[in-house]
Chain A
């Protein structure tokens, strides 16, 4: 019994919410017969909706009493001129309109937005003045990382890499068949100076037997 009562209350509540959107249609006589009957059945038991219908009628009547604003003869004449000059199917001159839009846009700017934008613009200009000279194309070789690498490369090539010697000064320890000596240099092995040899691959070195 209690469940049935809850269900009925719930359904009534849904209908009440839905019918509220139909009340203008009922007040204006725009509902069809079926919906009119539904609304009238609901209104019979709902005081707030009855008041809403009455309120909508009174309000609508009040709004209809407000006179329509007049069209001035001057503006009427300007409309005639604008239409007479308008090409059919083409673009029309809209100089005054553009000026009006510009004026409206300027007047619609808020002071806080203008101040904020101005502050950011000044900050960006300062940042550009301070930072831009160091990244211009003329100074590209001054970028620390590139110049450091170039200096290191040149220093290592001059000071740390072994000095190459001519192939005539150092002879390979063993003659390799079909090989060719590319470079020789002096190095240290176990604290003793000895020659290094770089050669093209060839056959096994011919080690004399016995």
Chain B
């Protein structure tokens, strides 16, 4: 049995991160109930394995690492299949239909969409893409920290993030109400066989 001091130390280190930890769980989970389950499970595992925390400065990264395992375990138990992560190049026709010199058409696409719509698009990304987007663009962690949390090489974090943002941008463009009409006009006007 651990001492009261150990419990106090755990509370001091972990409590400040509860809010953000729940935020990460909530942005990944399909329901609020599941986000709460994941958060609770993460904190219970953290308490169980508190002796293994060497670097107290990196407590949040340690918690995110546990959360990542909790989510992976849950998906494995449910037999959920991994979604394929497509690779888009910078030459993609849809992306290039929306030039992005700010303020430009792509900037306008993002402004047209509510936070909920953008979050829905993030949520629909393949798991491997969504994880890096959440940890970088929402949690603002360094590539090094993300690599440790997800057990990846920093270079893999970078390539996944590049591809994830490209795919997210394309989906947001396609979800934009005016996107279909604009892209249709564009494709019909540059038919080389006419």
Contact present for A63 and B162 (CB under 8 Å): no
Is A104 an interface position by the 8 A CB rule? yes
What residues of chain A lie closer than 8 Å to B96, measured between beta carbons?
Answer: 48, 51
Residue A55 contacts which of B23, B43, B169 (CB distance < 8 angstroms)? B169
**Given A55-B95, A63-B122, A108-B78, A68-B19 contact (CB < 8 Å):** yes
How many interface residues does chain B have, given as a range?
35 or more
Is A36 an interface position by the 8 A CB rule? no
Is B2 an interface position by the 8 A CB rule? yes
Is A153 an interface position by the 8 A CB rule? no
Is A1 an interface position by the 8 A CB rule? no
Is A9 an interface position by the 8 A CB rule? no
Q: How far is the CA of A86 from the CA of B172 in the complex (A)?
A: 43
Chain A residue at minimum C-beta to C-beta distance from B163: A21
- B108-149 vs A, CB cutoff 8 Å, 1 = contact: the mask equals 001000010011001000000000010011101011000000
What residues of chain B lie closer than 8 Å to A64, measured between beta carbons?
Answer: 137-138, 140
Is A30 an interface position by the 8 A CB rule? yes
Contact present for B48 and A92 (CB under 8 Å): yes
Is A10 an interface position by the 8 A CB rule? no
Give chain B nearest CB distance to A30 CB in angstroms: 5
Contact present for B133 and A71 (CB under 8 Å): no
Contact present for B140 and A30 (CB under 8 Å): no
Chain B residue at minimum C-beta to C-beta distance from A52: B90
Q: How far is the CA of A78 from the CA of B36 in the complex (A)?
A: 10
CB-contacts of B147-162 with A (<8 A): 155, 158-159, 161-162
Compute the total of residue contacts between A and B using a CB distance below 8 Å.
Answer: 144
Contact present for A66 and B118 (CB under 8 Å): yes
CB-contacts of A1-57 with B (<8 A): 17, 20-25, 28, 30, 46, 48-49, 51-52, 54-56
What residues of chain B lie closer than 8 Å to A66, measured between beta carbons?
Answer: 115, 118-119, 138
What residues of chain A lie closer than 8 Å to B89, measured between beta carbons?
Answer: 17, 20
Q: How far is the CA of A49 from the CA of B89 in the complex (A)?
A: 9
Is B1 an interface position by the 8 A CB rule? yes
**Given A68-B20, A83-B44, A108-B78, A52-B166 contact (CB < 8 Å):** yes
What residues of chain A lie closer than 8 Å to B51, measured between beta carbons?
Answer: 89
**Given A66-B118, A79-B43, A88-B47, A24-B158 contact (CB < 8 Å):** yes
Contact present for B43 and A69 (CB under 8 Å): no
Contact present for B158 and A79 (CB under 8 Å): no
Give chain A nearest CB distance to B59 CB in angstroms: 15
Which 8 residue pairs spanning A and B have beta carbons closest together? Answer: A21-B159, A24-B161, A63-B137, A24-B162, A68-B23, A52-B90, A48-B90, A25-B158
A-B contact pairs, 27 of them (CB 8 A): A17-B89, A21-B155, A21-B159, A24-B136, A28-B143, A30-B143, A48-B96, A51-B96, A51-B99, A52-B166, A56-B166, A59-B110, A59-B169, A62-B110, A62-B118, A63-B138, A68-B138, A69-B26, A71-B19, A78-B36, A79-B39, A82-B43, A83-B44, A88-B50, A92-B48, A97-B37, A97-B40
